[in-house]
Amino acid sequence: SIGGAVKLNMGKADVAVNWAGGLHHAKKCEASGFCYANDIVLAILELLKVHQRVLYIDIDIHHGDGVEEAFFTTDRVMTVSFHKYGEYFPGTGDTKDIGAKGGKYYAVNFPLRDGIDDESYASIFRPILGKIMEQYQPGAIVMQCGADSLVGDRLGSFNLSIKGHGRCVEFMKTFNVPLLILGGGGYTIRNVARCWAYETAVALDEQLRNELPYNDYYEYFAPDHHLHISPSNMENLNTPDYLARIKERILDNLRHLPSAPGLQIGGSAETARVDSKEEDVDEKEGDGDKDKKDAKGGDAGEGSKDHRNHGEAKDKVKVEDKEEGAEDKDKKD
Query: In whole angstroms, what is the distance from residue 244 CA to residue 72 CA?
Result: 26
Closest CA to 5 of 184, 142, 138, 136: 142
Active-site residues, by number, are: 25
62 has binding-site annotation: yes
Residue 148 known to bind ligand:
yes
Q: Which amino acid is at 139?
A: G
Cis peptide before 223 (omega within 30 of 0): yes
Q: How far apart are CA 211 and CA 202, in angstroms?
A: 17
252 is annotated as contributing to ligand binding: no
Report CA 27 to chain centroid distance, whole Å. 14
Instruction: Please enumerate, by residue number, every residue annotated as part of a binding site.
Output: 60, 62, 148
Instruction: Please enumerate, by residue number, every residue annotated as part of a binding site for a divalent metal cation.
Output: 60, 62, 148
